[in-house]
Structure 1
C-alpha cells in the first residue's frame, strides 16, 4: 500500500523557521533528523518526515496557493494544544480548533512564512 511519507515547506527565514518547528514539532514527538544542505532541517517521528528547507533553485520561497500540510493527532485536545503552541510561537490562525463535521476535528494555522498547516483528528 502506498502512503505519503514526507512533506516539506520552504522558508526565507530558515533560522527563525527551525526554531519555530523545533519547538512546535517537539510537542508531537517529532525530532530533528538531520541538517539539510539548503540550510534547513528535516524532522522525523513515528510516521514520516517533515522538512523546512531553502528552495533547491535558490529562488525565494513562496507559499503554495492551495497547498497545506496536515498532522494527524490522537485527540481533539492534542489538536487544540498543537494549534495553540503554533500561535504562541508566532503563527497566525487560519481556522480555530473545532468540529468541521461529525467526528472530524480540525485546526488551521500559517507558519512564519505563510505556509498553511493543519492539525486534525478523525473519529
Structure 2
C-alpha cells in the first residue's frame, strides 16, 4: 500500500526558517536528517520526513494557495501544544485548536513564509 513519504515547504528566508523548524520539529521528536543543496534542511522521525527548501528552479518561493500540510497527533493536548509552539516561534494562527466536527480536532497555523500547516486528531 502506498503512503506519503515526505512533504516540503519553500522559503525565501532559509536561515530563519531553519531556526523556526528546528525548534518546531524538535517538539515532535523530528530531527535534522540532512542539509539540502538549496540551503534548506530535511527532518525525519516517526512522523515521516519534512523539509524546508529553496525552490529547485531558483525562483522565489511562494505560498501554495490551497496547499496545506497536516501532522496527525494522538491527543488534543498534543495538537494544542504543537499549535502553541508554532505561534511561540513566530508563526501566525490560521484557526485556533478546536473541534471542527464530531471527533475531529484541528488547529491551523502559518509559518514565517506563510505556508499553511495543520495539527489534527481524529477520534
TM-score bracket, shorter-length normalisation: over 0.9
> What displacement does 1:74 show?
1.1
Secondary structure of 2:39's counterpart equals coil
Is the Cα–Cα contact under 8 Å of residues 5 and 47 in structure 1 kept in the other structure? no
| TM-score for the superposition, normalised by structure 1 | 0.99
C-alpha distance in 2 between matches for 1:28 and 1:105: 18
Q: CA deviation at 1:47?
A: 3.0
RMSD between aligned alpha carbons? 0.5
1:37-76 to 2 correspondence within 5 Å?
37-76=37-76
Stretches of structure 1 that go unaligned for 5 or more consecutive residues are: none
TM-score by length of 2: 0.99
Distance in 2 (alpha carbons) for counterparts of 1:24 and 1:48? 15
**Poorly superposed stretches of 4+, deviation over 4 Å:** none
Structure 2 residue aligned with 1:28: 28
For 1:21 and 1:47, how far apart are their aligned partners in 2? Answer: 14
Whole-angstrom distance in 2 between the partners of 1:12 and 1:100? 32
Q: Which runs of 5+ in 2 are unaligned?
A: none
Deviation at 1:5, TM superposition (A): 0.9
